[in-house]
Amino acid sequence: MIKIGIIGSTGYAGAVLTKLLINHPNVQIVFLASHSYANNKFNSVYGNFKNILEASCIDSEDAVENYLQKIDVLFTAMPSGKTFSIVQKAISKNVKVIDLGADYRLKSKATYEEWYRIDHPCSNLLSKAVYGLPEIAKMKIKASNLIANPGCYPTASSLALIPLLKYDLIEKNSIIIDAKSGVTGSGRKASIGNLYVECNESVKAYGVTTHRHTPEIEQTLSYVAKDNINLVFTPHLIPMDRGILSTCYGSLKKEITLNDVYSLYKEFYKNEPFIRILDELPETRWVKGSNYCDIGIRIDKRTNKIVILAAIDNLMKGAAGQAVQNMNIMYGLDEKTGLEIIPMFP
């Protein structure tokens, strides 16, 4: 059994991760740590776990001081800038780390500091960390002991665009990503902006031209394209709990049929169990609760532009599900272990 602990277990991603790991046949949960709910029963915070999980959350600092030696893998799901000393300690004690946060995703310390406006004291770890998008980094993930689990928007957007760049189908600087997310993406923080009444019955863009997931997507696409990619990324908040739809636009370099693009996508992702290439347009409801990324493609012949749409559950393939997938890969398990979940509809 893989012994694991979670720091940041009472956020939305942490709660979904806890659920997945309870169900995982190869995992034993050693501790659930929380900053806000230390010493509270986990099921008093998330009532769905009543009669299922009777453990109390331990304090995050206590976890770091006294529990690291008892686990094989530490999952961290914390705000940006809060993981530095934790991850260093875990790595120094030979505990593998899967970080659901953003602190190890960007390879460039300067880029991190520019976009996050936080000093990064562990740049040595940046080079060690592997960006855990299994569809392009399976071997590296397997060999790593520090996984930077991709962000929710970057997962959907990168999976949509990678084959376009891999096969050099579009103008490199033509990419526009217009993404829509449910409200769980904002986290479980008491703020006016996240109130029911403020989010319900409205749609807005936010962080236009400034969202921190921009350089993360650019890093991935630049790596695939072997060239420097800049793009426009516009996230939107829409009134639903879960799901991201990423609508991605690019200018085709030359004429290509829709069939041919579909063939390339199917070829590229043929061994990826969580990618579903659809003839139809994807809808977030068809992936809810699962680790799938659904992808649909359209070509606009009139303008010679291509539109790729990708739908994920932001808490699954966009966070906790992908983290478990990464753990499975690290341990040589079938990457689907614990993740063969039929999406929930309705």
Q: Name the minimum Å distance from CB 233 to a second copy.
A: 9
The distance of Cα 243 from the centroid of its chain, to the nearest Å, equals 12
Q: What is the 8-class DSSP label of residue 5?
A: E
Span 218-247, contacts to a second copy by CB under 8 A: 230-232, 234, 236, 238-243, 245, 247
Residue 333 makes contact with a second copy by CB under 8 A = no
Residue 12 makes contact with a second copy by CB under 8 A = yes
Give the interface size with a second copy as a residue count (CB under 8 A): 83
Span 31-70, contacts to a second copy by CB under 8 A: 46-52
Q: Active-site residue 152, yes or no? A: yes
Q: How many residues does the chain have?
A: 346
Residue 110 makes contact with a second copy by CB under 8 A = no
**Which is closer to a second copy, CB of 139 or CB of 190?**
190
Assign 12 to helix, strand or coil: helix
**Which is closer to a second copy, CB of 52 or CB of 143?**
52
**Which is closer to a second copy, CB of 139 or CB of 197?**
197
Of the candidates 152, 199, 248, 293, the residue annotated as catalytic is: 152
Residue 286 makes contact with a second copy by CB under 8 A = yes
**Which is closer to a second copy, CB of 72 or CB of 294?**
294
**Sequence-separated (6 or more) residues with CB below 8 Å from residue 8:** 14, 33, 34, 35, 60, 75, 76, 77, 78, 100, 101
Residue 204 makes contact with a second copy by CB under 8 A = yes
The distance of Cα 184 from the centroid of its chain, to the nearest Å, equals 13
Span 171-200, contacts to a second copy by CB under 8 A: 173, 176, 178, 180, 182-184, 188, 190-192, 194-200
Q: Name the minimum Å distance from CB 281 to a second copy.
A: 5
- Residue whose pair of structure tokens reads 């071997």 in the numeric block: 139
Q: Name the minimum Å distance from CB 311 to a second copy.
A: 8
Apex 50 CA angle, 45 and 52, nearest 5:
120
Q: Cβ distance 9 to 57 under 8 Å? A: yes
In terms of Cβ atoms closer than 10 Å to its own Cβ (0-12, 13-18, 19+), residue 158 is buried
The amino acid sitting at 178 is D
Q: What is the 8-class DSSP label of residue 41?
A: B
Q: 3-state secondary structure string, 172-189? A: CCCCEEEEEECHHHHCCC
Residue 23 makes contact with a second copy by CB under 8 A = yes
**Which is closer to a second copy, CB of 309 or CB of 327?**
309
Q: Name the minimum Å distance from CB 295 to a second copy.
A: 11
- The catalytic residue positions are 152
